[in-house]
Amino acid sequence: MSKVIEVPEVLDHRGFEELVATLGGLPEASASRLLFNAKHVRWVSPYGLIGLLAAAQVSRDRTGLSPRIEAPDNRDVRSYLDRMEFWPAAHDVFDMEPGSAPSHGTSDALLEITPIRSHHDVHTVVEKVRERSAAILEKRLHYPKPSVIQFSVMLSEVCQNIIEHADADGWVCAQTYNYRERLGREVLMLAVMDVGMGFEGSLGSEHARRYGESWSAAMALEAALLYGESRFRDPGRGQGLQAIRRQVEKWDGMLAIRSGDAQIALVPDWDDYPSMQRSLPAFPGAQILIVMPARTEEVR
């Protein structure tokens, strides 16, 4: 008999937190196979898409059984999952029938869901988005040409973090859409996730002793994002996230990094997301969200 996990109707970064809270009560091992009921999902973001994959991976790790998934009833949502190549990625973490992944049509995404398992994957991702990013950033979001190169560097950095710090596989995807709720104009959302050791575990060997009993996931996030701390002693290490932070600030964007039971965020004036959250339901690895709004004529 399956235990049902209800997937939120709106599966974005806030919906992901609802999903994590539901998973928080799962036992470490169980004879019950989980069923992710996504029938009632009516809207999903790139962050929500790979968040669902991450949640499935965590549930499999905890219960020892690959969960099943009930596909959304909403036709537009199903079409979006197809275009973003959700189902091929889902085969890796869900219990699905062979060949049950629908074929996808032409996608307008900057980057469909792509697994990150090696440095070669990172190189492939950056090459894959080079032409698309030029068209999307310049023509749709009105960014200057140098921003295309800067975006490629930022994309490479966040993906490299999975390889160098997580000790686990991850996923990345990016999509533009109209952010009516907050801005009333288009944004580019970039989501990167893994379910590895997280910031607290990654930085702990080098920095936990110095912080003593105050060492925590929140402290590790502050150390990495604000002060450039790294698990490596090599000169220059740990600057990647700070460079990303500066670039996102320049673009008037939002950056949120969740790890363990904490989340730190760089929040622009157009959003009211908390800059620091502690005592969240624990979730392994690191989950990164970057939102870049279209530039208005006044700031070009």
Give pLDDT tens digits for 268-285: 999 999 999 999 999 999
Q: Cα separation of 145 and 143, whole Å?
A: 7
pLDDT of residue 237: 46
Is residue 249 a contact partner of residue 232, using CB atoms and an 8 Å limit?
Answer: no
pLDDT of residue 92: 94
Tens-place pLDDT, residues 10-29: 999 999 999 999 988 765 65
Domain 1-98 maps to which CATH number in 3.30.70, 2.20.25, 3.30.750, 3.40.50?
3.30.750
Q: What is the DSSP letter of 142?
A: -
**CB proximity list for 239: less than 8 A, separation 6 or greater:** 228
pLDDT of residue 99: 60
Tens-place pLDDT, residues 179-233: 877 777 899 999 999 999 999 988 877 777 777 778 899 999 998 888 866 654 4
Instruction: Output the CA torsion 215→155→191→133 (10° steps).
Output: 160
pLDDT of residue 299: 41
Q: Is the pLDDT higher at 248 or at 97? A: 248
- CA angle at 201 for the pair 284 and 59, rounded to the nearest 5°: 15
pLDDT of residue 254: 95
Q: Is the pLDDT of residue 157 over 90?
A: no
Q: Is the pLDDT of residue 101 over 60?
A: no
pLDDT of residue 218: 94
Tens-place pLDDT, residues 73-85: 999 999 999 999 9
Q: How far is CA 90 from the centre of its chain?
A: 15
pLDDT of residue 26: 65
Architecture of the domain whose range is 108-300:
2-Layer Sandwich (3.30)
Q: Mapped to the 3 state alphabet, what secondary structure does 105-141 carry?
A: CCCCCCEEEEEECCHHHHHHHHHHHHHHHHHHHHHHC
pLDDT of residue 100: 54
Is residue 261 a contact partner of residue 278, using CB atoms and an 8 Å limit?
Answer: yes
Mean pLDDT comparison of 42-46, 132-136, 213-217, 224-228, highest-scoring range: 42-46
Tens-place pLDDT, residues 236-263: 444 678 889 999 999 999 999 999 999 9
Q: What are phi and psi of 290, to 5 degrees?
A: -125, 125
Q: Is the pLDDT of residue 300 over 50?
A: no
Is residue 296 a contact partner of residue 185, using CB atoms and an 8 Å limit?
Answer: yes
Q: Is the pLDDT of residue 235 over 50?
A: no
Tens-place pLDDT, residues 27-41: 565 557 899 999 999
Q: Is the pLDDT of residue 132 over 90?
A: no
Q: Which helix (H) or strand (E) covers residue 10, if one does?
A: strand 10-11
b (16+ CB within 10 A) / e for 206-239:
ebbeeeeeebbbbbbbbbbbeebbbbeeeeeebe
- What is the rounded average pLDDT for all residues in the chain? 86
Band of the pLDDT at 1, cuts 50, 70, 90?
A: low
Q: Where along the chain do its domains lie? A: 1-98, 108-300
